[in-house]
Structure 1
Amino acid sequence: MALPGFVQAQTAQIIGTVIDSTSKSPVVGAYVAVTKTTPDAKPEYVTTDVNGKFAITVTQETYRVKISYLSYKDSQKTVHVAGNVQDAGTFLLTEAVANLNEVKVIGAVTPMEQKGDTTQFNAAAFKTNPDATTEDLIQKMPGITVTNGTVTAHGETVNRVLVDGKPFFGDDAALTLKSLPAEIVDKIEVFDKLSDQAQFTGFDDGSGQKTINIVTKSNRKVGQFGKVFAGYGLDDRYQAGGNVSFFDKNQRISIIGLTNNINQQNFSSQDLLGVSGNSGGGNRGGGGSAGNFLVGQQSGLTGTNSFGLNYANKFGEKVDVTGSYFFNRTSNNNFQTTNEDYYGKQLYKETNNSGSTNINHRLNFRVEYAIDKKNMLIFTPRLSFQNNQSGTLKNGLTNLGDGTPLNSTDIDRSSKNNGYNFTNDLLFRHAFEKKGRTLSFNFNTQINDKDGSGKLYSKNLYFSNLEVPGDTIDQRSYTSSNAVVLGGNFVYTEPISSTGQLQFNYGLTVSNSNSDKETYNNTRIDEEAYTQLDTLLSNSFDNRYTTNRAGLSYRYRKNNWSANLGMDFQNTGLYSEQLSPVMGKVDQSFTNFLPNLMVTYRSKEGTQFRTFFRSSTNQPSISQLQNVVDNSNPLSLTAGNPDLKQEYRSNLNMRYSIAGANRPFSLNAMIFLTQINNAIVNSTFIAQELTTLPSGIVLEKGAKLTAPINVDGSWNARTLITYGKPVSKIKLNVNLTSGFNYVRSPGMINNIANFSNTYTYSQGVVLSSNVSENLDFTASYSGNYNVVRNSIQPNLNNNYYTSSISARVNWIFGKGFVVASDINNQSYRGLGAGFNQNFTLWNASVGKKFLKNNAGELKLTVFDILKQNNSIARNVTETYVQDVTSRVLTQYAMLTFTYTLRNFGKMPTRNNSERRREGFDGQGGFPGGGRGPGGPGSF
């Protein structure tokens, strides 16, 4: 018998399914309002997932469940909750607005709402022209930008784009957004997608990715759509390609193709094996910044040939398959000029004429097999093959700070690289009868292999060396590297109360890698005879990491609050062995405690506050550990460091957001803090005189050797505020962005510590039209004021400013006439003589739509009308400040024909078994696009 004051209402769940009454397809993103039948009770809200399902935690009472969705009539039921799970059954939604000759009657639409951890944008609130892509659509949404192929949402790079919760062309976010027309989009969901294992348990394991899920309209899930185009212009400029998708219930097939020589590129970093070696300034060694080069598009002039195929389908009630194949071939030519200032000690100037051809094949596959309601397997293999050939003609000159010349080099270099990368992840998940008790096993494999060869011919002059005023290098080099990583972990969760849950986890990872480089000198003058092994530039190196990690976490959830608190213990063993030309060993062990904490508050009105702290380690790569010199630029050598330790990172993220149906605006405020102990950074030695290093390498006066080292004191602090509001009176969407970024980068120059401190203040505004589908325009401004301070040479502290002002318009008028124009002004101030620039890129086109339903369009486009196109960039590192100018595409005109395919139909009626969840949700979880309440392991 329960005593008064100690009676606690027992929690339960209401689950249900919402489908279209005509097509019998799931209704994704419908609003579910659950309200007690008592007087003055307030509703609680959830939304349906990609399968039209919902689940909400309640107490055992009587409720009114109401389903609402744009252009549908409301549907509601009264549900009495008696057990742990009460199935409300199926809600059939009937369209409330009939379409007559394409005239749509749509009321006011809430642009943005916060649904748990997911920010949801309603596409109907953002008007675009009939030919717009999903990329055009999302750039009107607050906090989302697309720059040079990189998609950013709320200050973080978007790594994945899903379509109705399923992968689409692997992890290539930009490619997915360009391939789908805006008209099929119902909602855009932005969230941090957990790993499959973490989504199941509900405990964040830190491996989540910023993700966009494209929710398609219910009446666009069956049909064929896409477009094909071809154009030719002056200076033999051309483009051709297209994309076609076939959607038929669960089966979806998409085909894309592209060929052009006008710098339209659609590849990800997986396509760029060997490309980083072509960047201006040569290899930077150590920590380097090659990763930055792999983000977005290549500079210079690029020709692209690509083809892709995406497939998704369900087989029966248990198997869900998605897969894609993508081929990409790019040919790039670039001419760059580079200035590097080593904080007043010396100046380096370089001209670089390079060309490269890169070929890539990518295959992605995912199979979900629901063994039964309690057990599931997920199999995710990925495979890519790459081939790269490149050649570079380079001239470099080094001067002292006063202009006195030290040395120069003329380089003719070429290379060939072939490689493949295979990854596989196998996950087994089991849910026990007791809700919240789960067990999962994960096994992952990674294999990569790379082989390469290179030719180097350089003539070097040393103006300060009277005895040896110059030399010639004529070499061939051969490299190979491979790595095998095997890992596994298991996770067990156990509920300990109605609000608390424990997680136990253990993982083991073993990584074995080796790298070999052999360099041969030409021993004859009159002919090629590369038989002499250069032991100073050759090396064989093996490396093994073994990591054991065990942890305990506690999860709490009650009302509007949830929290995770955990601690992992990690032991890492590093064993490295140099096999040639001399023997050497490194045997180290690292022990770390890795705490993590997450606290989230969500109000029913849409306000959310989240604090997230996580610590982690980062291991040096084999190239950073391998003690072999790269002399591809004899004036700027690089090498590895076998004594490197692992980095220890601490990350703190805080986010506050306001969005909801009752608010006329949306606001996001974020703070990101990162602190690194034992940060892997560059140490640069600049020879003040002829110097022979302990390794035997000879550095002429002014030559540099850069290698990675471990240094404490690396910081990165970033704040970002985004504010969006539709102004209905003038039919505009207004988006404001304000941010501040602080980077403290430690480094070493001639064994003297230098701390480069960069402060960046940014401001942006975007005005986008909401007038009509026939008139679409956007105007934007973004500015960055940068303050650079360094500890070695305060007199070289620098302030510089960059700004971009853009405007774009697309107007359809009369009987299918189209006028489009975009203009962008770039301004750079404070970079120094020859680099301060102010230029405007203006493109415009006129066209005419014709054929049935205006499916055809003939368009004349002029690129760079003012002949001012330019490309400059400033990079601030811990050892130098770099300014780079690159070759750009010049003015041309092109005539293009485009045909648009739109053929949508209704889905045939399906029986109840076909409408059931064809995946794993035996406990009422939310797999697929969003995180939902945490999956079957939630409580």
Structure 2
Amino acid sequence: MTKLLFSLTCILLGWGVYAQTMKFTGVVNDTTNQKPLENVVVMAINLSDSVLLGFTRTNAAGEFLLDNIPFGEMELLFTHPRFADKSYFIIGSELNRDIHIPNVILPNIATELQEVVIYANKEPIFFKGDTLVYQADSFNVKPNAVVEDLLKRLPGIEVDEEGNIKSQGQEVAKVLVDGDEFFGDDPTVATKNLSAEGVQTVEVYETVEDTGDGEETIQVMDVRLKEGAKNGYFGKIAGGSDFQNFYEGEILLNRFKNDLKVSVFGFASNTPNTGFGWSDVRRFGLTNEMDMGYRDGVMFSSGNSRTGLPQNLKGGFYYTDKLGKDLKLGLNYTFNNNTITENTSRNSQYLFADTSFTNTEDNYGFQAQESHSLNFNMEWKIDSLTTLEFEPSVNFTASSRDQIDSSDYFTSSNTRTSGTYVSNFLTSESVDVNSMLRLRRGFKKKDRSLEFEYQYGYSLDDNSTRLLSNITYEPGLGIPDSITDQNKIGSSNTQGHRAYLEFVEPLSKKMKLQFDYKFDYFFGDQSREAFNINGSNEVLDSTFSNNFSNKRFENRIGVAATYETNKDYIMVGADFRNVEIDNHDIWRDTTYRQSVYNILPSMRYTHKFSKSMRLRVNYNTRSSQPSLNQLQPIPDNSNPNRIYEGNPDLIPDYSHNLNINFNNWNAVTGRYIWSGAYAQYNPIAFSSEVTYLSDGRTRSKTINVDGNMYAGVYAGAGINFWKRQLELKPNVNISYSETKNIINVPASGIENLENLTKNANFSGGMEVTFDFDSIRLTLGSEVGYNIPKSTFGNANQPYFRYEYTLRYYHQLPWKMEFETRIDYTVNTNRSAGYNVKPFILNASLGRRFLKTENLIVELKANDIFNQNINIMRDIQSNIITDQTTQVIARYFLLKATLRFNNTKTSEKDEQWHF
């Protein structure tokens, strides 16, 4: 019999609890004569167990009526002896319990059906298996909105100012477009540029990734485009300036045709809208590191977190296509040229049992970076059971940083004891190469599978630094001044190989066994050479020079069992791991060898109370390796006030992690709730040993401690009134942590004192949104209370933080629109000069032009009252630090944005819309 291609019909999924049955009506015709077809058998078959739910036959007019069918996921099968069968897959819905299919056409037996008929879901939110699906058209956005604007309207989705996304209170680690990464690992290219109008659904699901330190469950968001958005051209061109200091410009061109997707983009800006993506922030180092080594406290920031004065030029292209039915190729390239200038002021209080001192700092930093990233991916379906994937990537980065730090130390009586001037100028070039090869093999036996994966990674970093520091002490202290003038040359290269083999064997329809084996080999080498400058001579300083290598072999074998029913999924497993570590201090010809054995248990459980209510429990154990910087056994004097030294005796850490999540949705009322709890316990953790010298300077190194723990609970909800014109969104977050470190104070006779830092944070807020045809108003408030406590010193200074927000959007007559945002932050109990209360007011007024309204001209005002500043508090054991960093404040832009697209009714017919 000719192979059948079933038509799929996705009908509304719902959670209705009032009606218990569905009714199907329609007319059936034959494919040849287009006439009503009599005596067609219409059957409703339950998908989960193939039970016949009901059946009927068509009458002489081809009409059928099938009612009293219980809600659920089912196949609606049409069959007749003279024609081929046809199936529709139905997902039951309370809102559309009466389904009418006006023209069911049965194909000829000798003809293979080519067309897939799709009926769009109309319910705004539903679960498809374990995937949470949002119907984009169910959420109103402003004209010419981008994907990020749409995400901000989705219940349970949060998007911050940098474009970072959370779903149900948890971070979204990856964003895809139609199942593929769009421009590599920078999802903001998609969310900030693609039009919301072309989005069909937004899907959020969890997946398990191997991080090298263990398995980690992450959230993935997949933006699925409408069929019409996959064929044709679309894009945007935008530019704005104040014609004096600030500018923004961007261009995005897309050519989509079925499986072919080609995109080109460019971006240039020196405003807070820099286009920095998630990966840029990590790679470019936009976060200030106040110290080297492990940070075991809490950081709390408010205000605009996009610090510094940036300039950004960014561009790239993206390509993906299917060659034939079985081969899919993808290629993308991204170029970045960035600079950022930072001016930071910092006040640090060092609190001891019998005394205290204060360090004030002013820092200037300028850094520049240019990078080129190229990613390729191939997916080849060798046959119906075998798939081969290949994903190589290469990244080249050249960067420089000029940093000048000036600091002063004061006693508890505010008497100055010393001052420090430090200048560092660093240049570096790095290359990163990674590749992944994966072979998946299925079998004729359902659910049996075999997977092999090989990964290779290589990185090389060469850098040079000029260090100049001058420490001066007040007369009478008897401490000589100290001057350092050094040239430093550094090199680091690492390479790793990983092989992974997994086999899954089904024991029954509900139960499976999984066996896996992983082998890791890692080699890293790091050399540092410091030369003291004496006139025209350079003399090697062995104190700050060394060559160190780290070699690791890891073998891991695991087994897991899964059991799955319609309502429950449970996985229980464990890995046994052995790591052989060989650390070699080459200059001193000293070797540190370690053998580490671990058992790494894991468990995942999901319970579906109903189609709209889920409980997820995830427990795992993880173990990560120390970095080369943490192992290198020489001091780093880049900041002579805070000297860090590696520790070659470090062993891998080990942690138990528990996450619990609960979600409940009601699509009829639009109400939802999400909540969760988490806990982490580290019987082996990385921490720090800090020695406080008599002149206020510190020396630290990373050590292993036991007993660190972190825990918290969080919850949020959405409650709608007046046909969803009013929405209340309360949220609460409670967290608690206990971390240990070791403190030495030789001048006070304190040695190897274990310091326990406890921190409790309570925060909660409410957001109220009024949503009418042309007006949207959101009022929000949040309060946070932080209680730090340390067993050493007096770092027990609770403080409050208050944040108030207002967002207002109004569609005015004459195609005009007005938008404003107010942020007011109140900081309390900070150091003198840091209890600021910035009031930030942004506003824009724009007008849409052209018949399609795709041209927008707007006047934008940022921080009208010129009060924007970044404020951060950092608590580390007995140190409390308040910090402010300069950010871009008031500016005005006149900006124009043109969006364009074309629609195709045939290959020869194109209609352009501007």
User: 1:426 aligns to what?
Assistant: 437
User: 1:353 aligns to what?
Assistant: 364
Q: 1:399 to 1:89 in 2, by over 3 A?
A: farther
* Aligned: 1:645 with 2:646: no
User: 1:756 aligns to what?
Assistant: 757
- State the Cα distance separating 1:457 from its structure 2 match: 1.0
Secondary structure class of the residue paired with 1:342: strand
TM-score by length of 1: 0.83
* Aligned: 1:406 with 2:417: yes
User: 2:26 aligns to what?
Assistant: none
**Aligned equivalents of 2:410 and 2:289: distance in 1?**
15
**Aligned equivalents of 1:471 and 1:630: distance in 2?**
16
**Aligned equivalents of 2:907 and 2:771: distance in 1?**
35
User: 1:367 aligns to what?
Assistant: 378
2:702 is matched with which residue: 708, 724, 728?
708
**For residues 118-267 of structure 1, what are the structure 2 equivalents within 5 Å?**
118-147=131-160, 148-195=162-209, 206-233=215-242, 235-267=244-276
Task: Report the AA paired with residue 324 of structure 2.
Answer: G
Mean alpha-carbon deviation: is it higher for 256-265 or for 622-631? 256-265
Task: Report the AA paired with residue 812 of structure 1.
Answer: Q
Q: Is the 8 A contact 1:431 1:439 kept in 2?
A: yes
Q: 1:638 to 1:74 in 2, by over 3 A?
A: farther
String of CA shifts for 1:612-663, please: whole Å, max 9, x gaps.
Answer: 1111111101111011211111111111111111100111111111125456
Secondary structure class of the residue paired with 2:383: coil
- State the Cα distance separating 1:717 from its structure 2 match: 0.8
User: 1:623 aligns to what?
Assistant: 629
**Aligned equivalents of 1:824 and 1:89: distance in 2?**
58
**For residues 445-594 of structure 1, what are the structure 2 equivalents within 5 Å?**
445-463=456-474, 467-524=478-535, 528-529=536-537, 531-580=538-587, 582-594=588-600
Q: 1:489 to 1:566 in 2, by over 3 A?
A: same
Secondary structure class of the residue paired with 2:888: coil
User: 1:865 aligns to what?
Assistant: 864
**Aligned equivalents of 1:151 and 1:845: distance in 2?**
24
Task: Report the AA paired with residue 758 of structure 1.
Answer: N
**Aligned equivalents of 1:903 and 1:651: distance in 2?**
50
Task: Report the AA paired with residue 523 of structure 1.
Answer: N
**Aligned equivalents of 2:6 and 2:826: distance in 1?**
54
**Aligned equivalents of 1:547 and 1:364: distance in 2?**
28
**Aligned equivalents of 1:356 and 1:197: distance in 2?**
30
Secondary structure class of the residue paired with 2:192: helix
Q: Is the 8 A contact 2:643 2:699 kept in 1?
A: yes
User: 2:83 aligns to what?
Assistant: none
String of CA shifts for 1:658-703, please: whole Å, max 9, x gaps.
Answer: 1254564111111111111221112211013xxxxxxxxxxxx221
1:340 is matched with which residue: 348, 355, 364?
348
Secondary structure class of the residue paired with 2:629: helix
Secondary structure class of the residue paired with 2:539: strand
Q: Is the 8 A contact 2:299 2:872 kept in 1?
A: no
- State the Cα distance separating 1:281 from its structure 2 match: 6.3
Task: Report the AA paired with residue 564 of structure 1.
Answer: M
Q: Is the 8 A contact 2:295 2:876 kept in 1?
A: no
**Aligned equivalents of 2:476 and 2:459: distance in 1?**
44
Task: Report the AA paired with residue 90 of structure 2.
Answer: K
Q: 1:192 to 1:166 in 2, by over 3 A?
A: same
String of CA shifts for 1:918-938, please: whole Å, max 9, x gaps.
Answer: xxxxxxxxxxxxxxxxxxxxx
**Aligned equivalents of 1:281 and 1:503: distance in 2?**
42
String of CA shifts for 1:43-93, please: whole Å, max 9, x gaps.
Answer: 333999xxxxxxxxxxxxx99843689999865999xxxxxxxxx988843
**Aligned equivalents of 2:907 and 2:297: distance in 1?**
53
**Aligned equivalents of 2:847 and 2:854: distance in 1?**
11
Task: Report the AA paired with residue 644 of structure 2.
Answer: T
Q: 1:760 to 1:76 in 2, by over 3 A?
A: farther
TM-score by length of 2: 0.85
User: 1:820 aligns to what?
Assistant: 819
**Aligned equivalents of 2:394 and 2:834: distance in 1?**
42
* Aligned: 1:326 with 2:350: no
1:299 is matched with which residue: 294, 307, 311?
307
Secondary structure class of the residue paired with 1:853: coil
Task: Report the AA paired with residue 249 of structure 1.
Answer: N
Task: Report the AA paired with residue 539 of structure 2.
Answer: Q
**Aligned equivalents of 2:349 and 2:507: distance in 1?**
61
**For residues 45-124 of structure 1, what are the structure 2 equivalents within 5 Å?**
45=73, 65-66=89-90, 75=101, 92-93=116-117, 110-124=123-137
**Aligned equivalents of 1:191 and 1:486: distance in 2?**
29
Higher relative contact order (CA 8 A, sep 6+): 1
- State the Cα distance separating 1:747 from its structure 2 match: 1.6
Task: Report the AA paired with residue 624 of structure 2.
Answer: N
> After TM superposition, what 4+ stretches of structure 1 lie above 6 angstroms from structure 2?
27-33, 67-73, 88-91, 288-293
- State the Cα distance separating 1:314 from its structure 2 match: 1.0
**Aligned equivalents of 1:156 and 1:902: distance in 2?**
35
Q: 1:813 to 1:241 in 2, by over 3 A?
A: same
1:393 is matched with which residue: 384, 390, 404?
404
- State the Cα distance separating 1:279 from its structure 2 match: 5.8
String of CA shifts for 1:360-385, please: whole Å, max 9, x gaps.
Answer: 22222221110000111011222211
Secondary structure class of the residue paired with 2:514: strand
**Aligned equivalents of 1:47 and 1:123: distance in 2?**
26
**Aligned equivalents of 2:637 and 2:650: distance in 1?**
21
Q: Is the 8 A contact 2:351 2:357 kept in 1?
A: yes
**Aligned equivalents of 2:673 and 2:489: distance in 1?**
54
User: 1:851 aligns to what?
Assistant: 850
Q: Is the 8 A contact 2:297 2:877 kept in 1?
A: no
2:739 is matched with which residue: 730, 736, 745?
745
- State the Cα distance separating 1:259 from its structure 2 match: 0.7
Q: Which has the higher strand share?
A: 2
Q: 1:564 to 1:426 in 2, by over 3 A?
A: same
> Structure 1: which 5+ residue stretches go unaligned?
1-13, 21-26, 49-61, 79-87, 97-106, 199-203, 689-700, 910-939
Q: 1:522 to 1:273 in 2, by over 3 A?
A: farther
Q: 1:318 to 1:603 in 2, by over 3 A?
A: same
User: 1:312 aligns to what?
Assistant: 320
**Aligned equivalents of 2:404 and 2:391: distance in 1?**
42
Task: Report the AA paired with residue 139 of structure 1.
Answer: K
Indicate the percent of aligned positions where both proteins have the same amino acid. 25
**Aligned equivalents of 1:895 and 1:408: distance in 2?**
46
User: 2:30 aligns to what?
Assistant: none
**Aligned equivalents of 1:292 and 1:826: distance in 2?**
13
- State the Cα distance separating 1:290 from its structure 2 match: 13
The count of aligned residue pairs is: 831
String of CA shifts for 1:5-46, please: whole Å, max 9, x gaps.
Answer: xxxxxxxxx9975569xxxxxx89989996454466633339
String of CA shifts for 1:880-914, please: whole Å, max 9, x gaps.
Answer: 222110012132222112211132334769xxxxx
Task: Report the AA paired with residue 812 of structure 2.
Answer: F
Secondary structure class of the residue paired with 1:672: strand
User: 1:802 aligns to what?
Assistant: 801
User: 1:717 aligns to what?
Assistant: 711
- State the Cα distance separating 1:211 from its structure 2 match: 0.9
Mean alpha-carbon deviation: is it higher for 63-72 or for 175-184? 63-72
- State the Cα distance separating 1:128 from its structure 2 match: 0.7
- State the Cα distance separating 1:761 from its structure 2 match: 1.3
**Aligned equivalents of 1:884 and 1:433: distance in 2?**
62
* Aligned: 1:789 with 2:789: yes
Q: Is the 8 A contact 2:7 2:88 kept in 1?
A: no
**Aligned equivalents of 1:64 and 1:863: distance in 2?**
53
Q: Is the 8 A contact 2:172 2:221 kept in 1?
A: yes
Secondary structure class of the residue paired with 2:271: coil
Mean alpha-carbon deviation: is it higher for 806-815 or for 441-450? 806-815
Q: 1:195 to 1:682 in 2, by over 3 A?
A: closer
Task: Report the AA paired with residue 787 of structure 1.
Answer: I
Secondary structure class of the residue paired with 2:648: coil
Q: 1:764 to 1:472 in 2, by over 3 A?
A: same
The higher radius of gyration belongs to 2
